[in-house]
Structure 1
Amino acid sequence: MSATNVPQLSLQNRLPRSMQTAQAAICLPEVQDMLQRLSEYGLGVFMPHMHDATTGRFQPLGDKLMQVESGLAVSFQPVEEIANQAGRYLPVGWCWRAGGATSAAACEMVSPSDDGLEDYVQHKMP
């Protein structure tokens, strides 16, 4: 799905305002230029978000929360809690918060083996 065919008209106005802005911005030439530059480093762009636990509706990802994938399941955890376990989680998404890059998404990794040869490159599976 390209940025130009994202289903924006019928769904976009049901999103929170910050997400409406994000959805529209991906089509802007300056954002496309940034995305192209990021791709040179193997990076992309994502819209930080979470979902209401009751309704499933999109919500902005709070500044004190991050998206965490563990065992192929996604949850939303306090940033501080994940930051205190830096060796266990690999950051995979970042946002600009409080004047700097802050991790907004992470994957839980397999712990090192007893012999120390495992180097946290294997995602934790269910």
Structure 2
Amino acid sequence: MTTATVSQNTAQGLPPGLRSAQAAVHLPEVQEMLRRLSGHGLGIFMPHMHDDRTGDFLPLPDEVMQVEAGLEVSFRSAAEITLQAERFLPVAWLWRANAVTAAAACEMVKPAATENDRLTVKHKMSERI
């Protein structure tokens, strides 16, 4: 059994838009898009967040971005993250309002120059030991 097969059985409690996204992965045209994307090192994701109180799946609102920092995920204002391009690396994109829009980002540590003056990008790690 693949993860995709399991998702068919567990998607029943999702909101309609997210249930539709789960079903779409099985469509031949979506699988063809995924095959083509994988040639570029890309994949498909289901933009979502969770209700703080219940943990229920919710569609990701246009004004919210998923952010990973210190190996923890949070949901923050897209406008806030977009204004800090030097600090956050986009890792997921959506097509919104006829344009590519970042939907998720990882917080980065300040780049350091290497001996050949190339900047290295590193993910911000947890401060816990």
Q: Which residue of 2 aligns with 1:124?
A: 124
**Alpha-carbon distance in structure 2 between the residues aligned to 1:4 and 1:52:** 24
Q: What pairs up with 1:26-41 in 2 under 5 angstroms?
A: 26-41=25-40
The 5 Å alignment of 1:42-53 reads: 42-53=41-52
Residue type at the aligned position of 1:46: F
Amino acid in the other structure paired with 2:84: Q
TM-score of the aligned structures, taking structure 2 as reference length: 0.89
Could you tell me how far apart the structure 1 residues matched to 2:109 and 2:102 are? 19
TM-score (norm 1): 0.91
Q: Counterpart of 2:41 in structure 1: which amino acid?
A: G
Determine if contact 1:65/1:79 at 8 Å carries over to the other structure. yes
Which aligned runs of 4 or more in structure 1 are off by greater than 3 angstroms? Answer: 1-4
Q: Gaps spanning 5+ residues in structure 2: where? A: none
Q: Deviations over 1:72-103 (max 9, x none)?
A: 00000111000000010000000111111100
Kindly report which structure 2 residues correspond to 1:37-116, keeping only aligned pairs within 5 A, or say none.
37-113=36-112, 116=113
- Give the Å deviation of 1:2: 3.4
Taking structure 1 as reference, are residues 3 and 32 closer, same or farther at Cα in structure 2, changes over 3 Å only?
farther
Shift of 1:4: 4.3
Q: Distance in 2 between matches of 1:100 and 1:111?
A: 28
Shift in Å at residue 120 of structure 1?
4.9
**How far apart, in 1, do the equivalents of 2:110 and 2:4 lie?**
41
Measured on the aligned residues, the alpha-carbon RMSD in Å equals: 1.6
SS of 2:40's equivalent?
Answer: coil
Shift of 1:119: 2.6
* Alignment-derived partner of residue 7 in structure 2: 7
Q: Give yes or no for contact 2:111–2:122 (8 Å, CA) kept in 1.
A: no
Q: Tell me which amino acid in the other structure corresponds to 1:20.
A: R
Q: Are the counterparts in 2 of residues 3 and 26 from structure 1 also a CA contact under 8 Å?
A: no
Is 1:16 aligned to residue 44 of structure 2? no
Equivalent-residue separation in structure 1 for 2:26 and 2:2 (angstroms): 10
| Cα distance in 2 between the residues matched to 1:4 and 1:26 | 8
> Structure 2 vs 1, CA of residues 109 and 20 (structure 1 numbering), >3 Å: closer, same or farther?
same
Query: For 1:87, what is the secondary structure of its paired residue?
Result: coil
